[in-house]
Structure formats: structure tokens, C-alpha cells
Chains A and B, each alone.
Chain A
Amino acid sequence: MAERQVARIEVRQLAGVDDPAGSGVIRAADLSGIKLGGRVQSAAVYLIESQADAAMLGRIAGELLADPVTQSATVAEGPPTHHSTAVEVHPLPGVTDPAAQSVETALRDLFGVEATVVTGRRFEFSEASAALAKTVAERLLANTVIQGVHGGVFHPTTLPKGHKHDAPVRSIELTTLDGAQLAKLSRSAHLFLSLSEMQAIQTEYRRQGREPREIELETIAQTWSEHCVHKTLKSPINYRELASGKVSPASIRAEAAGSFALAKTCAEAAGTALGARPGHTVDSSGSVNIDNLLKSTIAAATRALTDPAQPNHIDWCLSVFVDNSGVVAFDEEHAVCFKVETHNRPSAIEPYGGAATGIGGCIRDVMGTGLGAKPIACTDVFCVAPPDMPDIPKGCLPPRRVLTQVVAGVRDYGNRMGIPTVNGGVWFDERHVGNPLVFCGTVGVMPRDKVRGLVRAGDVIVALGGRTGRDGIHGATFSSAEVAHAHADEFSHAVQIGNAITEKKALDLLLAARDYPTGCLYSALTDCGAGGFSSAVGEMARELGAQVHLDRAPVKYAGLSPTEVWISEAQERMTLAVPPANVGVLRALCLEHQVEMCDLGVFGSVDKSIRLYWNAEEIGRLDTHFLHEGVPMPRREAVWDPDHAAAQEPAVGDGSGVGPALLDTLRTLLAHPNIASKQWIVRQYDHEVQGTSVVKPFVGVGSGGPSDAAVISPVRGSSRALAIANGLATGLAADPYWMALAAIDECVRNLVCVGARADRIAILDNFSWPDCDDPRNLGSLVRAAEACFDGAMAYRAPFISGKDSLRNQFRTEDGRLIQIPPTLLISGFAPVDEDTRCVTMDAKCAGNALVIVGETGAAMGGSHRLRMGRGEHLPSALPQVSLTHGPLNAREVAREIASGTVRSAHDCSEGGLLLAAAEMAFSGGLGLTVDIGAVPTIRSTPKLAANPLTEAGSDGDASSPSASWCETTSFAETPSRYLLEIEEAEVAALLERLARRGVSAARIGSFISTETMSLTCRGVAMGEMSTENLRLAWESGSKGWQ
């Protein structure tokens, strides 16, 4: 029998055939300011360890690895490299290599060869020096956290095997430790538990009269991590408001005491009685005690809105806050569900893998909802540092690389899964340099009778999908820790690479098992996310206990310890509860779908504990009650310090790009990174797979106009559709109360603008906050949560799911702490009754009128215009959402769209109304005229003194508005405003209807066939510019990021 040997096969393009991977290196280097010169040629490298002989390797190279038309393959060294420097990039041992897995399977199936494979890429530089080539490889081609860079030819004699950790069943001495020792243990064992948590564990084990075993301690740490248990949001909180120079416009304290002014009116109008904020009490010192922030705000709104005792209660929420995603009714037979997750920490260290596994995990949440939903759409929102940011702190990847790799990760995973990525956004802020935010959302559809699963005692614990390896060990605890300079090395094992095809196979299998002709083959399922089996089985066994045989789990390589198997966060795994009678059928189905499954044990144990076994020996026993209820919830201090919050705001720009005319400023704003076209990102996503798209991310004559929301048709053959959108208002972070309301309002506006039902909007929260152990950060979190309650009540839009990530900050090597801005992403979806009634944002026809709905306020705080600089003359107050007008405007616009009056509709948001109007015009290949003087403004604003109308020097004489009034009105980012295109003949009736219903609206211009935007103010010309010019500014704004 032949020895196993490592063969090396190199595949390269034939002379004369394009090599985009090679030429891409030149382009990427160029963007990073590195002049390479000459050319770069790429080659694929396969290291194959097997017993195959030379003839067989030749066949493998020729028949499988190389394309006969365009490529050549060579076994072993490859052709001599004339005057070139070569580097190779190969995955580090233990890092998932999906391509290698596919090759191994193909070698077995096609050639009968059992092999271990590693894949890599080779780059040959015709002119660069070895040192420069290595720099390029390390900066642009490899991430050294997961990949090794080798000069010359990499041809090891053996491929790495798993290494065995010594893994006896270890007890850890805990019951005798003092406080300092407990804290030390928490850190050294990477448990990230607080002292009080360590003490609670100590008390429990003293009660049991024994020391914990390592695997038990690890399980508790995973289960109690912020990531899994949301202990900050669930803790009792003591909230104080500090006095500031100005009285805070929304005092939670005042409302908690009973004068619930803000939401009361609308709640009453909606038939919901409300007194003081639920779960809030004011103590003698004047501070507010909140029992459980989540329950008292976000969930309280959902509870109130869905309360069957209320006459107008919402009856379409089917499963909220209890499962892996929130589920609402779609039609008589179908439900839709939505989950949004963050994957911030892994993305900071390895953006490609971090983003891919982020979207992969979110998709699994949807697959693991109820008895399984089919994922039908993904969304993504990224908050990153600007690509051109100077002075990157050590330990951070270059922002451009972070962004392009995050995009690539979402692209490769979503596209391979066959799920359209339909909606998203990017927010730029330098404070994200060491801590980018990656929000991934997934929407699913399922039959209404499959919304709930129930584990039964005696059900077999089945694990299926990917194998278990050391990847992702400590992900849950890691994600709850602060990112520090040292983390890149310390936690590289927390970084994972996904394999979308493994997950796709699991999805196809699960849907086949769910819809099995004789009925669903399993009684419950969940995904393995953070904490791996320990969390998945732990959660499913909550009521019944379980007996788990860890030695049965299929592993990627030998040598895993039982603890590693139990807490591994290896991707693409699902856990099912299967009635014993169905196991055989499920196994056969798995075989057909080429999905690996194993029987890990059984749900149920005598004392309802979770018992862990390794080769039939008990190695751990966990009390489920202590595990799930034992985490101490200490009272946390929260302080709202408006001055501190304001001081965190970034410095404004130097005013370049402002003026001289308003349209010049507009052109600059259109090219702002937050606003500019994201086509280069979106077109990399297959946003049409499954063939369900009704409103695509880009619409209009050149298919380049930015849609407000995506619309898809989830049910084949039905014209009922689903709109999906996001809202983010980080610009208003100086007061997260108004920021959160603005985000909700934006999400609602986006949905309404495409034709969604305003009365059927369900929303999700995603908090990404700087460290909430700092009372000031927790104070700002409280304000955002309170706004979520007010917003949900006012818009009658219940929260159905949410997530939080509460320690987003980065410590640089020199000890500087960079905290991210408090960030709340609101995601939402709502049905559209009839898809052919959808409206897009591109203007349709010259001669139609431009109508604005909603009033524009003299409050420019946080606006893009103000951030440009040279805005001292502009009113700097933060815009506020009116809880009466916001919902009213949304409802009435939705009604007009449903009735067919509206030809196009666009949300007025970042950049202000001129910007939204310009987008409508150039997306429709039209021009427009706008009379700024006709824009209705908020006259009753409490900030009247700051209204330039009154500063105009003529006692607020509306006939001669000042230049600053015009500028404010043009660029204020006041919420609750919509731009509508209305046929001339319909305008008068529309305005009359809206006025009758209490909605402020005005005709402010017309679309014209000449591609020019011209501004006037009450008859005074204020400039004009070609809309093509504006479009080019918008489209070129993102050039240079790729």
C-alpha cells in the first residue's frame, strides 16, 4: 500500500486568457496607495495528501481542477517563475476551508481517492520585491488571523492533523476562593463573569457540596454571557437625569411619575389606556427605578398593543420575543418572521468570516424558528470608519478593507444560500475604526401551523449539518467583552469561517423533513449559535433536562475535549428534538440530502438536570433552573448626562463643499459617503434570487435610483407582498431618545413609501452601545428604550424581536478608549395587499406636481449639512418626532398610495428635502422646479426663537424669508416628511383631503422634462443645476471604496 504523500497541484490561466484575480491585486494595491508596477499573475494551489499515484494525480489535475479551455495544471512545483516574486496564501491549520471540503468529497466520489486537502492561492509579481509582495499579501490578500503568508512555494510534507488536548474531567477549585481569586479565575479561564456572578456560582456549588467541573463552569459562563442572557437589559435599573444648561425636552422622570405627556394622546386615540410608564417608579431621591428595562419598555409596548382585553388590539403577532425570530401573520395560511443580529466582534478581527458567519447565524435563526421557516430575504447595515480615514490605530484593519471584506462576506454567504439580500445601508463614523458594526437581518416564511415546536421527554437529541471543531470557542463570552489591542491574537480561535453550502444542504433537508408527507418529522428545533450545543441543548432542555453523549458528535478532526465539543461554535449546525419513531426516516432523508446527522442523546432526565457523558461516563451535571434563572441581576446605575452625550459628538467639518448656492451644497451632500449610491455594494448581492422581487434596491430609468424599501412576494402565486426596510438615525446620538424615535419614524416612512400597510408594521430593535457598565452609557440606553416604547405605541408598530450588543469599544495600544456612537437599528416589515399597487421613488412623468407631506422644522442638530461645518448661523437643536403627526402622516400617505393617487413616493431623510427631491428627479430621468418658500414649516415649535423665520428681521414676515431660513428648510432632516409625485389634476383634491385629516402638505414644485433642477423662493430665483450633474455626484461619491 502506497504511503500517503502531499502532492501539490497548481492551476493557472493559459497565456492570453484574462486573470481578473491577478489584475484585481494591482487595482486593490492602487486604491491603498501602493504602486506595484508590472503585472500580477494568480494561480490556485491544491495540497492533496493521499495515496494517489502520479497517474491518478494527473487525472485529478486535468479532469477536476483545471478547465481545459482556459487553464493548465501542473503537479508539484509549477512552471519556473521568470523574474518574479511569489507569495502564497493558505489557511492556517484548523481554519475551515470550504473549497477543500468540496474537493475532498469530489475526489472520493469521482476517483475513489480518500484525501486531506488544503487550498491556497499563489500570486506572482513581475516587478515587486519580495518585501513589497509580502506587504501586499498581508495587507490586501490575507488576514493573518486565519491565513498564513508564505514566500516562494509552500509544499509541506504532511498536512496538519488535529492535536489532542489533555482533557481529563477536571474539577476546578472554586468554593474556597476569595473575591480576588474568583475575579482572577474568571479572567484567566476566559469566563468574563462578574464577581457577583462568580459568587453566585460559588454559593450554588457550596450548596451542592462539591467543586464545579470545568465543563459546568464553561456552560454557565456561556449561558450567562451578555450575548445569551441580555442581563443588562433585564436588570433592575436606577435612572437619574442630570440637570443641564437646558431642560431635557423629554424627561423620562417626569413621565414615569405619571404625566405621560408624549405617548398618552396617541395611545388614547388608539384606544389603549396608559398611565405612567409601566414598570417604572420614582423614588424619594427623584430617580426612576425600572424593574427590567426590556420588559418595561420594548416588550411592554408589544404586550399593551396585543392585549386581548383591549378593543383594538393587534391580533397578528403570532410569536414574539420567545423564539429565534419574531413571527407575524402574513395571510390566512402563511406567517413571516424576521430576525436581525449583530456580529461586531468577529467582524473587527476578520471582517470576511465575521460578516459571513453573521449572516449565516441569522439565517439559521430563521431556519430554527418554530418548526422551521424558509429564509426569503436578507438585509444588511454596516457602520464602519470612512475608507479614507487617516491614522489607523494599531491593531485595527484598514477601514476600506473592513468594508470590502464585510461586503464580500455577506455576498458570498447570502448568494450561495440563494437568499436575496434586498435592503441595507452604510453609516460612516471614525469611532468605528476598531469596532465596526455588522447588522444582518433575515426574513422567513412558514406555514401558520408550524409556528411553534414543543420538545417532548424521550425525544432524541439530533444534531445535524456541519461538524464540530475548535472554531469559535468562547464566541459568546468574547462578544460580551471589550475589544482590545491584544484580542487579535488572544481570541483568534473565536473567529470562524462559514460554509454556506453546508447550511444550504441543512436548509433543504429541514424543509423536506418539516413538510414530510406524513407530518413534520421533529417536535422542535433550534440553531447552534453562540455557546454551541451548550446553549442550544441547554435552551431546549430547559423544562425537561437532557442526557447528552458528547462523544457521539461528528468532529472535524480528532482530539477535541468534551468541553470543546460542548461549547464549540462551529457553524452550520442545527439541533432537533425527534420522536424516536421518526429517527430512521430522518436519517434516510439526511442521506439523500448528503447531510450528516447524529444522535446525541435524549431529552428528559429524572431530576430535570442536564447530564453530560463522554464514553458513557458522566462528566458534568447542570441544574437547569440554576443555569437559566440563577444569574444575579444586580441593580445597575444609569445616568442621563446630556452634556456628556453632546461632548461625544464628532467635530464638524471645515465647511468645504458648502455653497456658494444651495444647489452646490446639495451636490456635495449627494456625494457624502452616508448618502452616495451604494450600487457597488448592492450589485454584488444577488438581490433577485428566488425570483420574488417586486421593488428592487435600485429603480428608475437607469435602474440606479435608491429604493426606500424592498418588496418581495413571499408566497408563489399570491399577489400579496411584503415590504422590508430599516431606520437608523445615529446622527441624533446626542440624545438617544430622539434618535430612537427618528429611527422608528424612518423605518415606517420607508415602508409606507413603497405601498406597505401602515397598520401592519412590525419592528425589531438592535442596540449596539458603548460599554453599559458606564452609567452614562446605560443612561443613554434607557432613553433609547423609552423611545422605543413611545414609538411602538404611537405608531401601533409592535416590536417582535430584538438584540443588543452592549460593549462596543476599542482600546488602542496606548490605552486610548474609542467608544462607538450609541447605535439603534430599527428594522421593520409590513404586508402590501396587492403587489401591482407598489410605488417606487423615481419620478414618472414631466408635468406632475411635487407635494411634500409633513412640516419642516428649524432644528438641524445632527444633520449632514450641519456636520459639514460653516453652519453657525443654523439652528442646532435636535429634530423631534411628533408622536401625533408622525403616525398620522404615515397613515394618510399609506392611504393615498393604496388608493392609487401617488405616482412616486420618497422618504425625506438624510440630507433633507432637496436631496430627496433631486433623487426622485434624476432617477426618473427628469428635471424639477422647487419653490422652497412653499414648504410648510413647524411654527409651533418650542424652539421658535431659533427659527430663522423670526430672525429675518421683519417680525417673521413670511413673505421675505432669510437666506438661513432657506438653507434650514432645504437641508433640515426633520422626520415624518414624505415627497409625493401627484398628477396635476389630482393635486387640489389631495391637498384638501389631507388638510381635512389634519395633515400638513403643500405643493412645492413640478417635474419637468428638461433635466435641470431649479430653485426659487417665492418667485426669487435661487439657482439651477443639471440633474445629471447631481446624479453623477451621487454616483461618484462611493468611487474609490472598492
Chain B
Amino acid sequence: MVPLGYFIVLSAILFCIGVWGVLRSRNAIVIFMAIELMLNAVNLSLIAFSSNMKHILVRFVQSMAPQDAANAIGTATSSGQVFVFLVMTVAAAEAAVGLAIIIYVYRMKDSVNVDDVNIMKW
């Protein structure tokens, strides 16, 4: 039984690697991949929590009948996973549109270096 804390720490580490990637890369596509990495870190953390819901909620459902308690815990657990499901969907949409934009910018500037896209300045 892996403690919840380990998963959270792992998620934090992945997230930070993603942030670092965003800050240090000049290639727009690699930045995008770092963003996907961040999203995945969050997904991991969500799943970790949702799987541990039964431990968290068990004291709160003592007053209910076993079947209701089971339902409640089931809903709580599934909610976390549904959320991850939706996050994946959004990540997909975002990746599609983002890459389309990168293609367009590449056509304009002939480069995917983000430093070249800098006309909105003083």
C-alpha cells in the first residue's frame, strides 16, 4: 500500500519539471510538451486523491446505512476520475488549437523560436 503522500510528492516534482521546461525552452513545441507534462502531473494527483477517498470519508459516513455509504463513497471516488476525464478532453482540444497556432506562426515567421514572436511590446 503506497502512502498518498508519495504520489503527491511525485506529482509536485513532475509539475515543477514542467514549469522549468516552460521557462527554459525556446522551442515552442517543447514548451507545449512541458505544459502537457504539467497537466499530467495534476491528473496523477487527482487520481491519487480519488482513490484514497474511502479512507478520508469513512468516518463521515458512519451514520448512514451501508448501502448509502457505499454510494456516497462511490460517487466521491468517481468524481475525481470524471474530472480527470474532462481534463484529458480539454488537454486534447488545447493541444489541437495550440499546434494549429504554432503552424500558422511558423508560416509567418519561419521559426518556432518563441523569442521571435515579440511585437507586442513597447
Asked whether A and B interact, the reply is no
